Structures are given as structure tokens and as C-alpha cells.
A and B are shown apart, each in its own frame.
Chain A
């Protein structure tokens, strides 16, 4: 049994990572999950959160992702994130930008979407806390 799989992380603007990995922790919309080789085929949407990638050599790298989805195959996992930033490049400004985006979407949202957006905002705040930034969800 193969113990590694191909992993790709792409955003619309660039390809952030493409390497062979042991496991990937994905912040799925319905809860976090860890994809390992031989995972059953799955497509899940993402919530704002931290993506943790464990490379073949055991090195871990983290990415903050916002919006998009993950496609998991037995041999490969690709994450398509609308916004993806390596955790060590993350700054408070970027987080605030995320927050502002969520707030902008609120203006056109229906009541049903408002709940989702409130959760998104909370997720962004939680992501910020995890990385040591404090960003408050816009009321």
C-alpha cells in the first residue's frame, strides 16, 4: 500500500503547493478531516481554517485557506481555495481583508446566507486566534 499521495494546493492566482505527502488535515465545511492515501473519493467544501500538510519527509507546512473545496482521491488530494496564504506569510491585514470580504457579501445575502456568513466570520476569527492575531467579526 502506498503511504504517500500527490497533493496540490491551488488558488486562482497561483499554485501554492504540489508535492508528495503523507497526510493532509482539511478544514471541511462539516468538520475537519484528515486525508491519507487510499481515502475514499470525496468532495467537500471548505470553511475558513488552517490546512496542515505533512510532507513525505515528515515536514509540516500550514496554509490559511478561505472558500473553495477539496477533492480527495485514493492517490491524490487537491485543494482549490479561493484565497490561500502560507501561515507564516499571514498578516493581520490579510485577515482583515478576508473579514471585509465576508462583510461585503453580507450586503447582498439572503436571510439563509446570513447564518452561513456569520459562521464564516466566526471561522475567520478562530483562524486568526490560532495564528496569534485578533480580528473581530464585523457585527
Chain B
């Protein structure tokens, strides 16, 4: 049985924890709003880009001149996995679920006899994968100093990835990130970025019927736009991931705050009971002392 003083300290400490988690929840909520706005703002660009690329790709596919970025190397021996996670923890299962999906993929690829290379974005994923796959690491992108994710961050990753592709380091590249559905639901996904594939949405497909003039030549445009399209996909992934992270953190902190509340209630009841027991004890002592006289 803990003493009254112990209980009191315990209650105080849980109260402090609750204050912290509450504050973190509110910060995450504010950041989530911003992240969602950013994801929202990036959508028109990504959609148009995708539609145009789908049109171009459809026109150019099958020809021998199709750029390597789209046609692939003709091999799929070496896979590069770009694994995007958060820079910070305390966001529930967010990082773990992405890492879990990545592990599953790695296991499958290894079983099929493919070589796996890993590029990590965000510290947490790297820490979790370090123990089993540190020999597969080829690079790391540190975003811990970045306050507002910008398109330039995506461009830097794109350049890194494409430079590796050009030197023949890998055949297929995939990004792992989390799609933001809602505050309580984020879904980890794997998306192939190289060789680039473009799926046109339905209204975009209608538009493709239009025959465009191209200036300069179609192939040149395609070569110019492909890296940009890859960067756009990476950027979309980064933004989705950012929103997912804040959403996951918000609900994790909400739970923590609620748990702290429950704990305080329980401890308070225990505290009151022990106090009552102490008082009763003292009374018994006084009364039996008086009776003995």
C-alpha cells in the first residue's frame, strides 16, 4: 500500500503528463490543418500533371524511343525502396505501420531473389530498420531541419533517385508512405515511381481524346517532364505523409490525454480511500486509548 504522500506525488506527475499530451495534441491539430491545406493546394498540379503525362505516355508508349525513366531498364533485379517516415515519434503506430509494410515487401523481394536497396526519408523509419537491414541502406534524407515541406525537398529527393537510376544502381523504385484518410485512419501504401506509370483519372481520360500539338517534339517534352512528374509524385507522397503523421499524432495524444484522465480519477479515489482509512485508524486509537483509562 503506497503512502498518502506517494499517491499525491503520483497524481501530480500524471497531471503534468496530461498537460504535455494535451499541448501536443493541440499543436498536432494546428499542424494537421496546415498539412492538409498544403496537400489540398498541391492536388490540382499533381492531377493536371498526371493527366498530361498519361496522354503523352499513351502516345509514346511502345515506341523504341520511349525514355528509360518510363520504359525501365528492361530488368527488375534491383529494387530501390524509398521509405518515408516521420522525424519524430509519439505518433501512435504511424511509423511502425509504414515500416511493417516495407518489411513485408523486403521479405517478398528477397524471397524472389531480388536485390533490395533502401533510401530512408525521416529518422524514425531508419532507426527501426537499422537492426535488420543496415547493409541494404544506400542513403538517408534528413528532413528534421525542414519546417515547411516545400517542392524543393521533393526535387532534391527526385534528383538523388534519378542520379542513382542513371548510374544503373537500381531497376525499379517504389515509395512507401501513408495516405491520409482521416484523423483516425491512415493507410500505408507502396507506390512505384520508376519506371514511371501514369494512370489517368476518368475526366482526364476524356480529355485525352483531344489531339494536341506539341512544342518542342513530343519526345523532348516527355524527357523534360518525366523528372518533374517523378518529383511531383514524391512531393504528393511527402505531403500526404506529413498530414498522416500529424493526424496519427493527434489521435495518439488524444488517447494519451484521456488515459491520463482515467488514471488521475483512479488514483484520486485510491488517495481518498487511504486518507479515510488513516483517519479511521486514528479515531480507533484515540477511542481505545480513552476506554483503557
Contacts and interface: CB of A to CB of B under 8 A. Distances in A.
Interface of A: 8, 10-15, 28-30, 40-45, 67-69, 71, 73, 78, 80, 82-83, 101, 104-105, 108
Nearest to A69: B225
A44 B221 CA distance: 8
11 contacts: A10-B44, A12-B45, A12-B235, A29-B215, A30-B215, A44-B214, A44-B216, A45-B221, A45-B224, A82-B231, A101-B155
Given A12-B151, A13-B42, A45 B48 contact: no
Size bracket of the B interface: 20 to 34
A83 B151 CA distance: 9
Contacts of B221: 43-45, 69
A58 to B, nearest CB: 26
B49 interface: yes
B216 A105 contact: no
B42 A78 contact: no
B225 A45 contact: yes
Interface stretch (B107-115, B205-213, B258-266): B205-213
B53 to A, nearest CB: 10
A10 B49 CA distance: 10
Contacts of B210: 41, 73
Interface of B: 38, 41-42, 44-46, 48-49, 52, 56, 150-152, 154-155, 159, 163, 166, 210-216, 220-221, 224-225, 228, 231-232, 235
Given A12-B154, A45-B225, A80 B45 contact: yes
Contacts of B44: 8, 10, 15
Contacts of B212: 41-43, 71
Contacts of B215: 28-30, 42-45
A84 to B, nearest CB: 10
B163 A108 contact: yes
Interface residues of B, dominant DSSP: helix
A67 B228 contact: yes
Nearest to B207: A73
B92 to A, nearest CB: 28
Contacts of A14: 41-42
A97 B228 CA distance: 18
B213 A80 contact: no
B232 A12 contact: yes
B216 A15 contact: no
B52 A12 contact: no
Contacts of A41: 210-213
A12 B46 contact: yes
A78 B48 contact: yes
B163 A13 contact: no
A98 to B, nearest CB: 11
Closest 7 CB pairs of A and B: A44-B215, A12-B151, A14-B41, A10-B45, A41-B212, A42-B213, A43-B212
Contacts of B235: 12
Given A12-B42, A12-B232, A105 B213 contact: no
A71 B44 CA distance: 14
A92 to B, nearest CB: 18
